[in-house]
Structure 1
Amino acid sequence: MNKNLVLAIASMGIFVEALDIAIVNLALPKIEADLGLTNDSGYKIQSIYILIYGSFLILGGKLSDYLGRKTIFMAGCGIFLFTSLGAGLSHSLNTLVLFRALQGLGAALLMPAAFSIVNYYFKEPHERGKAMGIFGSFAATGSAGGVSVGGIIANYWGWSWVFLINVPILLVILVIAYLYLEKDTKGDSKLPDIPAAIALVLGMLCLSKITEGSYLLVSLVILLASAFFLYSRLKNQPDPLLDLKVLILASLRKGTLLFFLLGALFTGYLFLMSFLVQQNFHFTAAQSGFLMMPFNIISMLLGRFGLPSLSLQFSPKKIAIGGAVAMLAGALSLVAAIQLHSLVFLLAGGACIAGIGMTLCYTGYTVIAMEYVPSEHLGVAASLINTAYFVGGGIGLPLISIFMPHASGELNSRPLWLLCIVAMLSIARLLYRKKAGS
């Protein structure tokens, strides 16, 4: 078995998944113009993808254990391939939103299966650490480069190609995975609690509807019923979807909340920035992509060279606070950019949020959340904080859309103040301490 080839398969899968979260952002104004949408409706294209992804992530990990990593990896890639094709060929908002929702389902299957593949084939600690470093770098590169690549593709090829470009890549991944990954063997894992998973998804979808302000009473009733049913299943099932024991840990609960806020803030930033650079500062999608590329470079340099030194000098909490403060400074800088129509403040805001804040927050929050988690619960805890991040993004975007101007045109600073509030909530949670510690 060629382990390098296996690592390449898993890494390319996670690269496409990470790329697709960010690649749509700079294409959104073009999608809205082509489909005749308004500023406050385009968020649905991103919100539904992130929300479904986050809601199904835990189930995807459970299915990978039950049905086999190869089976679920190929299923995720297959769903992602056909839904990318459908999204690229869509001619209405409803059709595009439907395919984006199904893309989120594909991503929720693909990501934990790819993670499982790397851990299965690379067992020796040093070998596994090196492999996970490479695997993680593909995910980071996809996320960081997606915004810039999306703007360039949308400008020169059209917005459809931010989806269609996935098709040939995933086709190659599927063929190689089928030929080279070992056949799954039946393990000891039990069938995941499907009713609990359905309750989780229903609850998250209803929560997003509440933040949109639509179907308020019906959504609230279904949300409460789903939450009660989910809690009952988690408490009484012998093999629950999520072990409630891990939620006893104060550090994990704190980290989960921080990741929820981080998802809302950073997803909102990417969404708003795509409109700011194109509608307020009148850059093309390609120019916007090149304009935002330095933020990715700052993030990669900070992660590669800065964080190792900072980790030796400061605690994870101080690193996290530094990241949250950078997020707040960046959001305030973007407000100033609108008020003063200043490109300098625009670039400073992007550098603070995407270049510095995200890198420090993600690292600090991860250590805070996972610090006291027992080894047997690490997988569940990792799924939980990632779910919190994506659900935060899926719920944050509808909230931001409430403050967006209805008509197409320049944005005002109101939605950016919401980012400031989220950043301040993150700082407050990091600084808050109970008498016995938290």
Structure 2
Amino acid sequence: MKRKNSVVLFIACSAVFLEALDLAIMNLALPLIQKHFHLEEEQSQWLQTIYVLLYGGFLIIGGKLADIWGRKKVFLTGALLFLITSIGAGKANSFEFLFFFRAIQGLGAAFLMPSAMAIITNTFITEDARSKALGIFSSFAAIGSGCGLSVGGLIASSLGWQWIFFINVPIISISLILAFILLERDIRIIGTNQPDLLSGIILSFCIVLLSYFIHAIPVLIHKPIWIVIVLSLISSSLIYFIKRTRHHPNPLINFTLLKGNNVMLGNRTIFILGSFFLSYLLILSFYLQEILGFSAAKAGLLLFPFSVGSAFISRFLLPRLIKRFKIIRTARLGMTLMFFGALLLIISMYYGLFAPLVFSIACVIGAGMAISIPSLTVMALSQIPVEHQGVASGVNTTSYFFGSGIGLSLISLMMQLNTLFPSTIKQLIASASLLLLIAAIAVLYLLKEEFSLKK
């Protein structure tokens, strides 16, 4: 039984690993795709944007379907979509086909992630076992991001950009086969427990539209009429969704379940973490390639040891931290590492020193993410009943996703303030200073909540 549970954990971890790998690896492959299809920079960026829009937009409904229709069924559907679209994207002979497969891949990820987390919480029943399993599961997000950054440049440079998609195929194929054979069949709940799919569609529409707005802020800021139209659509749709949720017998999201102290603390802090991490990766990538002149392959080689370190921390150190300390203190340690990582990055860029850059990467990619994401995920899901873990994990991941979108938009705006920051290095230092502030807010917030809990 213990061996079977370990295989189930591997199946679930493969999903979060691929999702994080796919987001990170694309950053280093975009210039090659842009060159291959003779695209403008803003066109190639849509490959990342469309994935994030559909992924973030359908996470909650994917989680609800996992709760109602069955974790195994939704996981297999998401994995199959991810497999087909990975092959299709790698074989695409035009940008239009690549764009299409990338969009559906985001939808597959939205089904894959919450169902994988729900599988874990249903498999590991005791509190200690579940916390440890969720910690390992979430740590694979950090490992996937690190591997995407480190290996992505090497793969794209040596084998071609197509292999950033083909690399998914063997991993997801093994997971599909094992999941089909080993995962227990879910009993489909019928009758009054059918999900409110219309609310799901409305909420997904709101999230996609809001996500688009966040990503397009640098462009829309010059089009006030469009801003009014988009915000009006989002506001009216959200108002209708809230009213419908209050009166429906089986609402899409039971908001009373999300009011626990740990649940709210975990979701709020992971929102802040999202606004920090992807923005840090963007600034780091820009600094390495545009200022220091690193190639994608060389940047990957620099980051590779820290990905290994992240895996080591996730496997050996993190379980001990979660067992020995309160989960809020573990989360605070992770966010403190983020703070020092941003500070060291600023010092490196300001004085032109390489050593602080290495320690910055160690703090953020090597240790910070390996500690922060698992602890915050465990915190957000610890008080949620098993039958609602799917939608709760969707809310948790959506919080991280929204934070990422807002963080990236703020960095994009910062980079466009040429009058205040006339040189690229000054823009990067200003952007890193914003990240320092974001990390400081997270640390202070966790300190405040820990002090409140003691009272």
If the length of structure 2 is used for normalisation, what is the TM-score? Answer: 0.81
Report the equivalent of 1:279: 290
- Choose the corresponding residue for 1:186, options 185, 188, 191: 188
Q: Which stretch shifts more, 91-100 or 292-301?
A: 91-100
Q: Which stretch shifts more, 72-81 or 423-432?
A: 423-432
Report the equivalent of 1:264: 275
Report the equivalent of 2:223: none
Bigger share in helix: 2
Q: Which stretch shifts more, 367-376 or 274-283?
A: 367-376
CA contact (8 A) 1:26 1:288 kept: no
Report the equivalent of 1:27: 29
Give the C-alpha shift of residue 245 in structure 1: 0.5
Task: State the alpha-carbon separation in 2 of the partners of residues 68 and 372 from structure 1.
Answer: 21
Structure 1 residues 404, 87: CA separation in 2 closer, same or farther (over 3 Å shift)? farther
Gaps of 5+ in 2: 221-225
Give the C-alpha shift of residue 159 in structure 1: 1.8
Give the C-alpha shift of residue 149 in structure 1: 1.8
- Choose the corresponding residue for 1:360, options 371, 376, 382: 371
- Choose the corresponding residue for 2:252, options 237, 241, 245: 241
Report the equivalent of 2:398: 387
Report the equivalent of 1:323: 334
Report the equivalent of 2:199: 196
Structure 1 residues 128, 247: CA separation in 2 closer, same or farther (over 3 Å shift)? closer
- Choose the corresponding residue for 1:74, options 76, 80, 84: 76
Give the C-alpha shift of residue 164 in structure 1: 2.7
- Choose the corresponding residue for 1:223, options 231, 234, 237: 234
Structure 1 residues 92, 217: CA separation in 2 closer, same or farther (over 3 Å shift)? farther
Q: Which stretch shifts more, 119-128 or 177-186?
A: 119-128
Give the C-alpha shift of residue 151 in structure 1: 1.5
1:420 maps to a residue whose letter is: L
Task: State the alpha-carbon separation in 1 of the partners of residues 249 and 395 from structure 2.
Answer: 19
- Taking only aligned residues, the RMSD between alpha carbons, in angstroms, comes to 3.8
- Choose the corresponding residue for 1:99, options 93, 98, 101: 101
CA contact (8 A) 1:202 1:222 kept: no
Task: State the alpha-carbon separation in 1 of the partners of residues 67 and 302 from structure 2.
Answer: 42
Structure 1 residues 85, 271: CA separation in 2 closer, same or farther (over 3 Å shift)? farther
Q: Which stretch shifts more, 370-379 or 48-57?
A: 370-379
Report the equivalent of 1:404: 415
Report the equivalent of 1:160: 162
Q: Which stretch shifts more, 174-183 or 146-155?
A: 174-183
1:327 maps to a residue whose letter is: M
Q: Which stretch shifts more, 37-46 or 22-31?
A: 37-46
Please list the CA deviations of residues 293-323 of structure 1 after superposition, one character each: whole Å capped at 9, or x if unmatched: 2222333333444445555765433433333
Is 1:60 aligned to residue 52 of structure 2?
Answer: no
Is 1:149 aligned to residue 151 of structure 2?
Answer: yes
Report the equivalent of 1:421: 437
Give the C-alpha shift of residue 423 in structure 1: 1.5
Please list the CA deviations of residues 176-202 of structure 1 after superposition, one character each: whole Å capped at 9, or x if unmatched: 655665665433483322222222222
Give the C-alpha shift of residue 221 in structure 1: 0.6
Task: State the alpha-carbon separation in 2 of the partners of residues 293 and 70 from structure 1.
Answer: 34
Task: State the alpha-carbon separation in 1 of the partners of residues 195 and 311 from structure 2.
Answer: 37
Task: State the alpha-carbon separation in 1 of the partners of residues 266 and 138 from structure 2.
Answer: 20
Give the C-alpha shift of residue 41 in structure 1: 6.6
Give the C-alpha shift of residue 105 in structure 1: 1.0
Gaps of 5+ in 1: none
Is 1:49 aligned to residue 60 of structure 2?
Answer: no
SS at match of 1:242: coil
- Choose the corresponding residue for 1:83, options 82, 85, 92: 85
1:72 maps to a residue whose letter is: V
Task: State the alpha-carbon separation in 1 of the partners of residues 11 and 23 from structure 2.
Answer: 19
CA contact (8 A) 1:251 1:369 kept: yes
Q: Percent identity?
A: 39
